[in-house]
């Protein structure tokens, strides 16, 4: 069995391939061997049988061929509807890489540079202020930003936008209701630009609304509604016909579940789970909101592992995909919220980028150079260029369940 250390050594992996002989089984040069398939099956089935999740599906391609697919449990437990290949899920933040690719399509056309000021394309952000503190009377204090927010900042979450959880600015952010689905992206940008930043651009990594701002920039530069641009430049060319904000048939969507404090699975009411995706809202977020099936999202992942091209359809230049999969966080950015929980990673353009191998079995298994992201309902995908492997995992469970991800990754890489 290949060990993780062997897998992570690209040179050794290449040597194994080069030394292939006729007495070796065909799958011995692959990560996903017969043993790996059995291991993944056992892992996913156990997650369902234990009651941790209602249903799960997983799809893996390696060296441009499908090497694994299976599904266990239910897309709709109450209706007895099994999880299968046609099941659609709410991918939440796995919308973000799609938005990043849309933005970088414009980069490929020479229409912006990463270090351009955001205000060049969105003038609302020209005069942002930064929260400085509170005076002895309880008044909020602000100061001018040390520098302009750049396009690079909104691709790597260093712009400084405050969240509703900010201890001093949270109420102001909440009252602004920036991401109300009744807002257009332009209205969202106007409201956001009127709020103070939580920190100076470039100083910290703070996950949040930046990718919705990317969607607005796509609209500003392209002159097209964001969802139209995505359809014409990504989902249409890649034949991702099931990837959209509003499914043509809501019954295609899996039910949503939450795990209660006692560990039981509780169905989230369909009205709540589908409140965004059941109608065409003015808001077309860049950071969340898309639904997809597993084959659609795999086509997106395979385009990335093939450096921007799939089935003779080019979405991005190879050098642009490599740029997106390169760490853009300087060592000076020491405040990184929960990013370190993803392992020894940096952040590129809308992807986490793995910089070092796992230090021990407590860290998620994976290969150096992989880039990945996940979604609030615990969906996951990654692109492993060293091994030419892409994986997509679909579930619909709250709260976010990193244990499901770890068990799946461990099964894939035999950690």
At residue 155, the pLDDT reads 98
Is 248 found in the same domain as 214? no
At 29, the pLDDT band (50, 70, 90 cuts) reads confident
Query: pLDDT tens digits for 270-315?
Result: 999 999 999 999 999 999 999 999 999 999 999 999 999 999 999 9
- Which residue segment(s) compose the domain that 337 sits in? 4-104+225-413
Q: What is the mean pLDDT of residues 68-85?
A: 98
Mean pLDDT of all residues in the chain? 93
State yes or no: pLDDT of 391 exceeds 80: yes
Read off the pLDDT of each residue in 41-57 and give the average, rounded to a whole number.
98
Which secondary-structure segment (H or E) carries 351? none
Q: Work out the average pLDDT over 16-43.
A: 73
Domain boundary pick from 222, 253, 268: 222
CATH number of residue 299's parent domain: 3.40.710.10
pLDDT at 27 over 70: no
Q: How many domains does one find in the chain? A: 2
Residue 306 · residue 406 · CB < 8 Å: no
Percentage with pLDDT > 70 across the chain: 93
Would the pLDDT of 8 be above 90? no
Q: Are residues 315 and 389 in the same domain?
A: yes
What CA–CA distances, in Å, run from 74 to 81, 225, 267, 307, 368? 6, 36, 12, 35, 34
- CATH number of the domain that residue 202 is part of: 1.20.58
Shared-domain flag, residues 235 and 96: yes
Inter-residue contact 48 to 55 (CB < 8 Å): yes
CA–CA gap between residue 66 and residue 374 (Å, rounded): 21
pLDDT at 26: 53
How far are the Cα atoms of 126, 145, 202, 206, 371 from residue 159, in angstroms, in the given order? 13, 11, 6, 8, 21
Last residue of a domain, one of 171, 194, 222: 222
């Amino acid at each position: 069995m290949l060990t993780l250390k062997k897998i992570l050594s690209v040179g050794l992996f290449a040597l194994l391939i080069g030394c292939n002989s006729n007495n070796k089984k065909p799958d011995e040069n692959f990560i996903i061997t017969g043993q790996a398939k059995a291991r993944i099956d056992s892992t996913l089935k156990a997650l369902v049988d234990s009651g941790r999740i209602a249903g799960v599906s997983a799809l893996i391609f390696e060296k441009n061929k499908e090497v694994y697919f299976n599904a266990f449990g239910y897309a709709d437990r109450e209706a007895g509807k099994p999880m299968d290949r046609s099941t659609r899920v709410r991918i939440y933040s796995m919308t973000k890489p799609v938005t990043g690719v849309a933005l970088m399509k414009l980069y490929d056309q020479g229409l912006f540079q990463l270090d351009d000021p955001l205000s060049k394309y969105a003038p609302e952000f020209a005069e942002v202020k930064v929260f400085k503190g509170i005076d002895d009377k309880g008044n909020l204090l602000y100061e001018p930003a040390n520098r302009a927010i750049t396009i690079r900042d909104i691709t790597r979450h260093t712009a400084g936008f405050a969240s509703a959880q900010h201890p001093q600015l949270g109420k102001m952010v909440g009252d602004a209701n920036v991401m109300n689905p009744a807002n257009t992206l332009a209205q969202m940008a106007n409201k956001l630009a009127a709020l103070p930043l939580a920190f100076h651009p470039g100083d910290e990594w703070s996950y949040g609304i930046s990718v919705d701002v990317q969607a607005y920039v796509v609209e500003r530069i392209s002159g097209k509604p964001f969802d139209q641009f995505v359809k014409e430049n990504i989902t249409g060319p890649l034949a991702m016909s099931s990837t959209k904000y509003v499914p043509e048939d809501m019954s295609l969507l899996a039910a949503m579940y939450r795990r209660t404090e006692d560990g039981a699975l509780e169905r989230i009411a369909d009205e709540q789970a589908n409140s965004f995706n059941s109608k065409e809202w003015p808001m077309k977020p860049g950071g969340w909101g898309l639904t997809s099936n597993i084959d659609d999202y795999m086509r997106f992942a395979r385009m990335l592992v093939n450096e921007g091209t799939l089935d003779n359809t080019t979405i991005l230049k190879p050098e642009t995909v490599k740029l997106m999969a390169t760490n853009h966080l300087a060592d000076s950015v020491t405040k990184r919220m929960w990013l370190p929980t993803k392992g020894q990673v940096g952040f590129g353009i809308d992807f986490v980028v793995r910089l070092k191998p796992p230090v021990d079995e407590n860290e998620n298994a994976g290969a150096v150079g992989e880039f990945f992201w996940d979604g609030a309902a615990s969906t996951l995908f990654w692109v492993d260029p060293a091994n030419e492997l892409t994986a997509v995992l679909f579930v619909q469970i709250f709260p976010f369940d990193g244990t499901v991800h770890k068990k799946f990754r461990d099964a894939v890489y035999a950690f």
